[in-house]
Structure 1
Amino acid sequence: MTKHQKRLSVPKTWPVERKTDTFTVKAGAGPHGEEGVPLVVLLRDVLGYVDSTKEARYALSEDAILVNGQPINDEQRPIGIFDIIAFPGREEYYRVFPDEGGRLALTEIDAEAAESRLGKIDNKQQVPGGDTQLTLHDGTNVLVEDGAEYSSNDSIVIDNDDKSIVAHFPYEEGALVTAIRGNHGGKIGEVETIDVTPGSGSNTVTVDTEDGGFETIEEYVVVIDENFTGDDE
């Protein structure tokens, strides 16, 4: 299977120029689905820390780069929204966050903020033994004894070491959200109304922002805390 794909065909969320080289690195299997950006693309095209895939492999072999607290040895590992990328040797830490237009960007954070990450609850189900399993947007599963307080579309903050929940942000009117896809990707505001669509259609949400507001489907928004907007340093 090829390890490359044409730049013109990559998702709009990828932070790459489409009209320079013909090909770029293809993301490997892993979290975030087709929207996941290969780690080497961020290291080379965004941060400029390596010039080639070979250099990226060497850095990864030295455990110089952590993703969500774990050393990574695959330069094609998909990186997506709210992932934490750490360079302990440089004392540099970044959160993946959408910029205006919805392209994935790196927001610099401090070491304490890099110890946990935000996740949107995509699914909730009871598992054998009585615990509740929360499945997050990146495929991470978190077990809780009592899942009554959690709902799909809520967000939680989990510790990168033990996956314990350190914060919970309900999806409700008045919640602070960011749009991660669609025409309003990267915009931040408060939920004004949530309109439930009968049948199988997507519910819509109206978001109030400083420049007026927008309406989108609820799959395109994620509840965040003000500390997750890049102002937490």
Structure 2
Amino acid sequence: MTKHQKRLAVPKSWPVERKEETYTTKAGAGPHGEDGVPLLIVLRDVLGYVNSKKEARYALDQDSILVNGKTVSDERLPIGMFDILAFREREEYYRVFPDEGGRLSLTPIDADAAGSKLGKIAGKTQVAGGDTQLTLHDGQTLLVDDDADYNTNDSIVVSNDGEEVVAHFTYEEGALVTAVRGAHAGQIGTIDEIQVTPGSAANNVLIEAEDGDDRFETVEEYVVVIDENFTDGDGE
């Protein structure tokens, strides 16, 4: 199977110029589905820390680059929304965040914020033994007590060390959210109204923009609950 991807066919979330060259690196197997951006692209095209795949592999062999608290060795590892990148030698830390237009960008954060990652709850099921299993937007799963009050579309902050839930943000009217896809990707605001649609159609969400001068509408799937410090780089 080819390890190359035509630039014109990459997802809109990838931070690459589509017309500069014919091919780019194809993402390997892992989280985030087809939206995951190969780590090589982040290191080479976004940060400019390497110039080639060979340099990227050398940098990864030094065990100084971490994704969500774990050292990585595969330059094709998919990187996606809300992942945490840490460069220990440089003492630099970034959160992957969608900018306006939906392209993934890197938001600088401090070392404390790099110790945990935000996740949107995409699924909730009961498992043997009475525990509840949560599935997050990137496919990560974790077990929580069966009496924990977590619901689909809520957001949680999970520690990189032991997968401990350190914060919980409820999906409800009045919650601070960001749109991560669609025409309003990257915009932040407060949920004004959740419009429940009968049947299988997606619910709509009316959001008052952060500046208070505008409202926009998007579908529930594109909305992620955050907290007031999330985009400041100071932690969740």
- In structure 2, what is the equivalent of residue 207 of structure 1? 207
Question: Matches of 2:166 and 2:5 in 1, distance apart?
Answer: 39
Question: Per-residue deviation at 1:147?
Answer: 4.5
Q: Secondary structure at the match of 2:229?
A: helix
Question: Matches of 2:121 and 2:147 in 1, distance apart?
Answer: 12
Unaligned runs of 5+ in 2: none
User: Using a 3 Å threshold, how does the CA distance of structure 1 residues 147 and 102 change in structure 2: closer, same or farther?
Assistant: farther
Q: Secondary structure at the match of 1:121?
A: strand
- In structure 2, what is the equivalent of residue 227 of structure 1? 229
Whether 1:70 aligns to 2:70 is yes
Matches within 5 A, 1:168-207: 168-207=168-207
Matches within 5 A, 1:11-50: 11-50=11-50
Question: Per-residue deviation at 1:5?
Answer: 0.8
Percent of aligned pairs with the same residue?
A: 69
Deviations 1:166-193 (A, max 9, x none): 0000000000000000000000000000
Deviations 1:100-140 (A, max 9, x none): 11110000000000000100000000100000001000111
Question: Matches of 1:232 and 1:10 in 2, distance apart?
Answer: 32
Question: Matches of 2:66 and 2:233 in 1, distance apart?
Answer: 22
Question: Matches of 1:212 and 1:149 in 2, distance apart?
Answer: 32
Question: Per-residue deviation at 1:230?
Answer: 3.0
Amino acid corresponding to residue 59 of structure 1 in structure 2: A
Amino acid corresponding to residue 170 of structure 2 in structure 1: P
Q: Secondary structure at the match of 2:57?
A: helix
Question: Matches of 2:5 and 2:145 in 1, distance apart?
Answer: 43
Matches within 5 A, 1:26-175: 26-175=26-175
Q: CA RMSD in A?
A: 1.0
Question: Matches of 1:231 and 1:57 in 2, distance apart?
Answer: 28
How many residue pairs are counted as aligned between the two chains?
Answer: 233
Amino acid corresponding to residue 230 of structure 2 in structure 1: F
Question: Matches of 1:145 and 1:228 in 2, distance apart?
Answer: 26
TM-score by length of 1: 0.98
Amino acid corresponding to residue 62 of structure 1 in structure 2: Q
Amino acid corresponding to residue 223 of structure 2 in structure 1: V
User: Using a 3 Å threshold, how does the CA distance of structure 1 residues 150 and 5 change in structure 2: closer, same or farther?
Assistant: same
Q: Secondary structure at the match of 1:219?
A: helix
Unaligned runs of 5+ in 1: none
